[in-house]
Chains A and B, each alone.
Chain A
Amino acid sequence: MVDEEEQKEYRWETGYEKTWEAIKEDDDGFLEASVADIIQRAKRKRQAQKQGNSKLGMMRHLYVILDCSDSMSSQDLKPTRLLCTVKIMENFIEEFFDQNPISQMGIIIMHNKRAEKISDLAGNARKHIKAINNLKQTSLIGEPSLQNSLEMALRALKLLPSHASREILVVMGSLTTCDPGDINTTILNLKSEGVRCSVIGLAAEVHVCRRLANETGGLYNVILDDCHFKDLLYQQVDPPPAALTLESNLIKMGFPHQMSVEGTEEPLTMCMCHVDSTDEGSKLNTGGYYCPQCYSKYCELPVECRACGLTLVSAPHLARSYHHLFPAANYDEITYENQTVICFACQKNFSETDKQVYRCPNCTKIFCINCDIFVHDILHTCPGCATNLSTFQIAHNTTQ
């Protein structure tokens, strides 16, 4: 459970954000090395905080609010703030649905003091990427309105069932917001509805954003450069700890499979997902997934059945999310004193240059730094534990 106590700390009092102390010029007077170092250290720190067995909000409903005001045309990110954001956002959307296959996302843009929904809450990554790519042509005018956009997102998120985790992610380039009323009441409403709001600032810290994030239990960060931006955005890929108000529920789901009767060809049918779409017409074909309840056909999963409302998923979709719940154990950093000649996983020969090696607490096998990152970032299974009969189920057993 997340500690929902308000942080009274200012940005310049927190450990990580003492940026002027951390940033040091290298020999050539560049800052790049120290920025990379900050990101690397933050990654390991985040990794260390991750623990299995905690309750996570797995069924996420996330509204991304993008600033499309005048300030996004600024060129401090290359080529412009907007184009850089669009590019990073595209990858983020793909990664988000890769890691959270049964979650949904929607996108709202704020420009000219208005909020505009460019894509509704849905689980299809391609649709969102298309919507966000169209933003490249938008004219960036006026001031953003944080309150209008938050209210719009809240109206949609309010209706969700109680077991869904509700989140808003604001990417804010502007230092000002033009609101019709008191934004504090909006923040209080968000808080009472259990919506977690995170803000990524592209320019500098803004008090109202800090307040929004603190009140609702979200994160507030200001970027250093585009790499840091990407890193901060990717933090949002991992599901957040479940809020205290989140109810648990059993959700009825369907696991469709292809209809195949021995010896006969499947009939030619149209799928429900494209049957009324204008830009991509539906085609008659044989394959597809059939809702086990009403036998409507869909060409891809996961989807919510349009006829009977059943959520249709396949077992690997659920399995894709398991690593958030049962992560690989964190390795201990130890100094290298010729414990072993090679890295257990990648067979790399350790040499003088390897000052630190990493040991798994369960299987006590030794790994190199690259394998440590690979195992915890991508693989989520410790190769040492998984190859030994006495340890391969440890991660699983701790939850039983």
Chain B
Amino acid sequence: MNNLEIPAETTPEFTSTSETSLLVVIVDSNPSQKMLRDNPHVLTHCVDSVIAFANSHLMQKAQNKLAVMACHSKTSEFIYPGPNKPLDVRQIDGQYEVFTAVEKTIKHNLAKLLANEKSTLVTESLLAGAIAMALCYIARIQRTKPPGCRLNSRILVVTGSGDSASQYMNYMNVFFTAQKQGIVIDVCALDQHLSLLQQGCDITGGLYLKVPQLQGLLQYLLWVFLPEPPIRQKLVLPPPVKVDYRAACFCHRELIDIGYVCSVCLSIFCKFSPICTTCHTVFKIPGPLAVKSKKKKIKL
């Protein structure tokens, strides 16, 4: 007992009461993603793991805050805390009431969302939009927090769908916003390798993990994503992978080493072309020779 009391007394007050961690979990529950089409029961397993993980986050500190979002191809919604007023729960089996409320709210709202989902076979989940909503939510919590309080926010994306280049601009906007606001984006890939989201993790300083075994999802979540970012450097976590930041050209979507960039709209091309296909600008000087002579002038 003595051992328990001493740290409580020695920890300075400001670290324990004035620091809050807000975790926003984005669960990709799009029923048409490949992983769920093959085996729909996986979703139950994933949601259970996420709920257990979310409760562990709340358990770490009384001030910790949580929000959970579900992401589909047509819409994204906050499933905890939901738009309705919080559920009235009584203690069951001695479980902390908040945990019961988290589990019930998430399952209730998710069921409602899935029931409304019309069976359109769109495999793409719009994760960039969901992250954008999460950033707005975090910005509001940041605005309304009591003065003198510090808020550390992070976003965890749990998804089984792939990322497509069509969302590229939205992805980049949310990554740079998160970087500016000091929000860490973690990504837990369940099925496919996600190169764009991996770039986002690298930009914001988060962790990217492709889960090798879906059965052990909770284990991975608890070991890798539960510790706060400042603590992570003291742990032995999966080593960061080198991220390929090469650009893909707009004409053939191939990764290139040396390319041509339109000075008006910054479109990237792998070969010189006299007209920009994005902004229809006509380029004046044909041939790279003229460009080279201009380059020399800068150095003078």
B and A form one assembly: yes
| Residue contact A304 to B242, C-beta cutoff 8 Å | no
Contact of B258 among A55, A98, A255, A322 (CB under 8 A): A255
- Which residues of chain A come closer than 8 Å to B139, judged between CB atoms? 346, 370-371, 374
Contact of A348 among B132, B133, B140, B199 (CB under 8 A): B140
Q: How large is the interface on A (under 10, 10 to 19, 20 to 34, 35 or more residues)?
A: 35 or more
Please judge, given known A-B contacts A249-B284, A250-B260, A379-B135, whether A389 and B126 are in contact too, CB under 8 Å.
yes
CA separation between A385 and B126, bound complex, in Å? 10
Partner-binding segment picked from B37-45, B46-54, B214-222, B275-283:
B275-283
C-beta contact mask, A158-182 vs B, less than 8 Å → 1, else 0?
0111111000000000000000000
Please judge, given known A-B contacts A59-B263, A248-B264, A379-B135, whether A389 and B73 are in contact too, CB under 8 Å.
yes
Is B78 among interface residues, defined by CB-CB distance under 8 A?
Answer: yes
Identity of the chain A residue whose Cβ is nearest the Cβ of B291 in the assembled complex: A252
Identity of the chain B residue whose Cβ is nearest the Cβ of A260 in the assembled complex: B242
- Which residues of chain A come closer than 8 Å to B122, judged between CB atoms? 389
Is B96 among interface residues, defined by CB-CB distance under 8 A?
Answer: no
Is B234 among interface residues, defined by CB-CB distance under 8 A?
Answer: no
Contact of A247 among B128, B136, B284 (CB under 8 A): B284
- The count of residues in chain B whose C-beta lies closer than 8 Å to any C-beta of chain A is 76
- Which of chain A's residues 237-292 have a Cβ closer than 8 Å to chain B? 242, 247-258, 260, 292
Identity of the chain B residue whose Cβ is nearest the Cβ of A289 in the assembled complex: B245
Identity of the chain A residue whose Cβ is nearest the Cβ of B271 in the assembled complex: A250
| Residue contact B76 to A387, C-beta cutoff 8 Å | yes
| Residue contact A248 to B281, C-beta cutoff 8 Å | yes
| Residue contact B262 to A248, C-beta cutoff 8 Å | yes
- Which residues of chain B come closer than 8 Å to A56, judged between CB atoms? 264
CA separation between A164 and B264, bound complex, in Å? 10
CA separation between A400 and B283, bound complex, in Å? 18
Tell me the B residues contacting A by CB distance below 8 Å.
Answer: 71, 73-76, 78, 81, 83, 122, 124, 126, 128-130, 132-133, 135-137, 139-140, 143, 166-170, 172-177, 180-181, 199, 203, 242, 244-248, 256-266, 268-269, 272-273, 276, 278-279, 281-285, 288, 291-292, 294-300
Which 6 A-B pairs rank lowest in CB-CB distance, beginning with the nearest?
Answer: A386-B129, A387-B129, A345-B136, A315-B247, A292-B257, A346-B140
